[in-house]
Structure 1
């Protein structure tokens, strides 16, 4: 397997977690795990992902709150709900156009 395969999801894509009830919009991608060993070991062993895959930074939300999440590719799936992401930082990074999240950094006017 190619250690640095390309990411399955894109910046601006809305995704949800396979096991936990949260969703969010991707704002950054790491080609492989880029946090501390302690962080990785804090993930429950039965769902602990491998480090050699893309990891995504999300403006995430669940029913109670909004936060930043760091999630492995294997634990994400596309969110098809069409519901907007309410995280307060979304507007700083993205413009929303026809339900799509477009990065303000790369946006051409």
Structure 2
């Protein structure tokens, strides 16, 4: 079995390779785990392979904040452009240290 390791982790700041948005990683799926309808809605010429990590992001573009689901092949590191302004970031993360966000501790001290 081919074990894949995610290139990005929770709290990493990333940007999309093709589209003008960036975000913070809040969850990682080792391979595609969304609906077939969602997958088929992506134009075939840019549709990513399913056998790679997919990331749940708190995303932003110049117009809005939203959640995004993006394949690893479509993401690039983007911490050098500073923090992300998504209003839900404080729910999951503490501070941005210039490289990544640190996870907020839960009530029992766990992340």
TM-score by length of structure 1 reads 0.90
What are the equivalent positions in structure 2 for 1:1-109 lying under 5 Å apart?
Answer: 2=2, 4-99=3-98, 100-105=100-105
How far does residue 84 in structure 1 lie from its aligned partner after superposition? 1.4
| Contact preservation (8 Å) 2:25, 2:57 | yes
User: Structure 1's 37 and 81: CA in aligned 2 closer, same or farther, altered over 3 A?
Assistant: same
Runs of 4+ in 1 over 4 A off after TM superposition: none
Unaligned runs of 5+ in 1: none
Deviates more, 1:79-88 or 1:20-29: 79-88
SS in 2 for 1:28: strand
| Contact preservation (8 Å) 2:83, 2:96 | no
SS in 2 for 1:16: strand
TM-score by length of structure 2 reads 0.88
Unaligned runs of 5+ in 2: none
How far does residue 104 in structure 1 lie from its aligned partner after superposition? 1.1
How far does residue 53 in structure 1 lie from its aligned partner after superposition? 0.6
In 2, the alpha carbon distance for the partners of 1:97 and 1:69 equals: 20
How far does residue 97 in structure 1 lie from its aligned partner after superposition? 4.4
In 2, the alpha carbon distance for the partners of 1:105 and 1:44 equals: 39
Give the aligned length.
107
RMSD, matched Cα: 1.8
